[in-house]
Amino acid sequence: MYQADENRYKTMKYNRCGASGLKLPAVSLGLWHNFGSRDCYDNMKEMCETAFDAGITHFDLANNYGPVPGSAEENFGKILKDSLAPYRDELVISTKAGYEMWDGPYGNWGSRKYLTASLDQSLRRMGLDYVDIFYHHRPDPETPLEETMLALDAAVRSGKALYAGISNYNREQTESAVKILRELRTPFIINQRKYSMFERNIEEDGLKGWAASNGLGIIAFCPLAQGLLTDKYLNGIPSDSRIMRDGRFLKEGDVTLARLEQIRALNEVAAGRGQSMAQMALSWVLRDGEVTSVLIGASRPAQILENIKITAAPAFTAEELDTIEKILRN
């Protein structure tokens, strides 16, 4: 019988999510990869237990995570039943809807019908009465934004979600969502966006600073650029890389000679800080306090234990940040 480590809260840092009362761990665990129907259940269960023992209280899912779609939620529901259920009130569990889940016109995008049905299905798969955060997963260019936001508001008012969030919304779309939901007095607290040293759109469109100034949390996904910001690619593309296993998200063409030069130069900076490159990349995302939490993925428990070491990492010096900027500009 699993029993959580009694020291689990002693080293993890917890950051307030925007202007809300909710705090998220500096490092959260995402179940996008390695929690589907094709993956080893014992390994995913051990990863979740390892994460919680290390103070990671936030587990992030979506209706379509798998493969097959829905299987990550089903597996997490089984993990809850087998070991984590006694700690439900210590967990922040989030899910999303916005990508295709079932055939026909009602299983995709952002209509009230789709979001309402999807949340009900997610709760059934996980065996939960509510999730802590329910996100709209991506903007819908055809459904009125007000309809989508009203669906999030209804999810909270029904008690099926405690907080509302959005994902993949740019600054302009976020500002519009904030206006609607604050008028409704919905506890809208977070935007989930891709952010890493190699993917800096939330800086370029101004969302990162705007969110910090307007009481909205940011949680960053793909902080390691699908593995590029690790030591795995220092010598080119290894045979066991994600590119070779699954080319949907990272392609061979992404690993250019120029990119490899950047990776090697960044690795030298990380070594000088006493960190692995992955640890430095995660620390960099959290460097200025404008990002609430960094969302990691993992394929084995040891990766989680390595990544959470960033909570004890030294702050960046001005010289280190300047060096990193120069590398990234080249």
- Digit-coded pLDDT (tens) for 79-108: 999 999 999 999 999 999 999 999 999 999
Q: Compute the C-alpha angle 115/81/27, nearest 5°.
A: 70
Q: Which fold has domain 14-227+277-315?
A: TIM Barrel (3.20.20)
**How high is the pLDDT of residue 239?**
63
Q: d(Cα 196, Cα 194) in Å, to the nearest integer?
A: 7
List alpha helices for 15-99, DSSP H: 41-53, 71-79
pLDDT tier, 330 (very low <50, low <70, confident <90, very high otherwise): confident
Contact 136, 96 (CB under 8 A): yes
Which of 180-184, 212-216, 236-240, 271-275 is predicted with the least confidence, judged by mean pLDDT?
A: 236-240
For 50, phi and psi rounded to 5 degrees?
-60, -45
pLDDT average, residue stretch 193-209: 97
The answer to whether the pTM exceeds 0.85 is: yes
* pLDDT tens for each residue of 156-186: 999 999 999 999 999 999 999 999 999 999 9
Query: 216 by DSSP, 3-state: which?
Result: coil
Which of 59-68, 233-242, 303-312 is predicted with the least confidence, judged by mean pLDDT?
A: 233-242
- Please check the confidence at residue 243 and state whether its pLDDT lies above 90: no
Hey, what amino acid is at 254? D
Return left, alpha or beta for 198; rule: phi > 0 is left, psi -120 to 50 is alpha, else beta: alpha
Residue 220 corresponds to which tokens in the numbers above?
Answer: 């960053």
pLDDT tier, 251 (very low <50, low <70, confident <90, very high otherwise): confident
* Burial classification of residue 211, based on how many CB atoms lie within 10 Å of its CB (0-12 exposed, 13-18 middle, 19 or more buried): buried
Q: d(Cα 283, Cα 312) in Å, to the nearest integer?
A: 10
Domain ranges of the chain: 14-227+277-315
pLDDT average, residue stretch 188-217: 98
pLDDT average, residue stretch 297-309: 97
Query: 247 by DSSP, 3-state: which?
Result: coil
**How high is the pLDDT of residue 22?**
98
**How high is the pLDDT of residue 240?**
63
Residue 151 corresponds to which tokens in the numbers above?
Answer: 């669906």
